[in-house]
Structure 1
């Protein structure tokens, strides 16, 4: 079993997604002692945004790219190989302004690439995900409660986007553990953390 952990919070010590991810990984490794684990921290080390050269290179066959184009795509290629290596993805993705952190969006822009993580049939205008056979677990703290049946539910572009973009590249087995109400009084905040922790500890033995 191979686990890729991707963290996108810009916080370190006060990050709920990082803390819960750490606890989950420890419990998961106890249940999977031979598992391999890699971490990609795009919160602390965001990948570069695509450029014009990057985009041009992306849509050319590999044998048509110049050395400069290969260099422009090198970091993206490394991130994709890392993604394809993994059987399990653990994503720490706090909600920022109703959606994902910009650091994580930059990561996605580097890994969602034609003929690498998805295929496109121009004759029928259909798409097919290539990053198949994986499971994703997402830990997503938020300031308030953005569950679908709440007044703020329609503003939850974080969860809907994650399900859509991961599904697009072939990752359809997605579990999201929300950690709401992190801007609420401490008692409510801690209750949400404990509920998320309990779910994660259950998942550590079955996921």
Structure 2
């Protein structure tokens, strides 16, 4: 198994090490530690887009990405080099573990820049105007990739059915993009009440950590059973 561990918080440290640290870094670090405790032979690639965000899409990027590979000029390959590296990293991963905090009801700009770089025609999704029916198709479908999104929110009630669910554009935004590429095995856990900084936050952290541990146990067991089958 190959894991891709993505951090996107603007906060460089984890909340279990610093009072001003990131809850999403806390959860993703815990997930990866627990996973490797169960499966020490698995490989982990780490990508910190929070501290080193990918370049945003530009007009030159669009021109290059939508030019057929065999027709690209040298400058186009240079413009797409970072995106190609991110796509290669994604393609190599069996399990993507992404820390995506809620910023103003959506994902951080750093993570949106990452998404814009990995949604690539001819690499992660296909497009053909002459194709009957839907001209788009997911190129990662059938590869058995899993996606885990670990989030954090200042307020509370953002889960389905909650008081703020209608303005939560984090999990759905990430899930729908990866689903478009063909990654449909999706799991999410979040910490809430950060802005309250009271016992409710501590209870939410404890519940999220327990949920992470349970998810690691379940997914790692499923992977082992699949390998043995």
Q: Output the TM-score relative to the length of structure 1.
A: 0.97
Query: Partner residue of 1:39?
Result: 46
Query: Partner residue of 1:101?
Result: 108
Aligned ranges 1:116-131 → 2 under 5 Å: 116-123=123-130, 124-131=133-140
Deviations 1:39-82 (A, max 9, x none): 01000000101111111110111111111111000000000000
Where in structure 2 are there 5+ consecutive unaligned residues? Answer: 14-20, 220-229
Which 4+ runs in 1 deviate beyond 3 A? none
Whole-angstrom distance in 2 between the partners of 1:103 and 1:95: 12
Whole-angstrom distance in 2 between the partners of 1:182 and 1:121: 46
Match 2:174 to one of 151, 155, 162: 162
Give the stretch that moved more between structures: 32-41 or 121-130: 121-130
Query: Partner residue of 2:98?
Result: 91
Cα RMSD after superposing both structures: 1.1
Q: Secondary structure at the match of 1:176?
A: strand
Match 2:202 to one of 190, 202, 206: 190
User: Shift of residue 131 of structure 1?
Assistant: 2.1
Whole-angstrom distance in 1 between the partners of 2:148 and 2:28: 10
Q: Secondary structure at the match of 2:45?
A: strand
Whole-angstrom distance in 1 between the partners of 2:163 and 2:214: 29
Q: Does 1:204 align with 2:216?
A: yes
Query: Partner residue of 1:4?
Result: 4
Query: Partner residue of 2:184?
Result: 172
Matched length: 207
User: Shift of residue 157 of structure 1?
Assistant: 0.9
Query: Partner residue of 1:114?
Result: 121
Where in structure 1 are there 5+ consecutive unaligned residues? Answer: none
User: Shift of residue 181 of structure 1?
Assistant: 1.6
